Amino acid sequence: DAKTTQPPSMDCAEGRAANLPCNHSTISGNEYVYWYRQIHSQGPQYIIHGLKNNETNEMASLIITEDRKSSTLILPHATLRDTAVYYCIVSHDSGYSTLTFGKGTMLLVSP
């Protein structure tokens, strides 16, 4: 599976949009981009995933560049409860695949 690169930490003011970047320059054509988050001392939570097109759900939006070498997770109105470590993972869609969790980005949302 392709490797991802994320900034170790980011800050965001409550109520503002949080934009979390992820580089995956070696992604192949059949690999999905997944985002998870982990609130302190809890299990990770699935947020969103995409292949080529931008995706939106009730939690977040995922913007994938046309060349698919990078993506951005957008939390449109961050709250204090969004403070967590956010993981960007790529995983291929053909056959069985496990997920590789890196160190992620620690997002701190402040009042």
Partner 1 sequence: DGGITQSPKYLFRKEGQNVTLSCEQNLNHDAMYWYRQDPGQGLRLIYYSQIVNDFQKGDIAEGYSVSREKKESFPLTVTSAQKNPTAFYLCASSIDGTGEQNIQYFGAGTRLSVL
Contacts to partner 1 by CB under 8 A = 32, 34, 36, 41-46, 49, 87, 91, 93-104
The number of CA neighbours under 13 Å toward the Cβ of 63 is: 10
In angstroms, give the least distance from the CB of 5 to partner 1.
Answer: 13
Measured from the CB atom, is 14 or 59 closer to partner 1?
A: 59
CB nearer partner 1, residue 53 or residue 98: 98
| Dihedral sign (CA 71, 86, 18, 75) | positive
**Shortest Å distance, C-beta 27 to partner 1:** 15
Report DSSP state, residue 5. B
Q: Which two tokens stand for residue 78?
A: 């961050």
**Segment holding 56, helix H or strand E:** strand 55-56
In whole angstroms, how close is the CB of 79 to partner 1 at the nearest point? 21
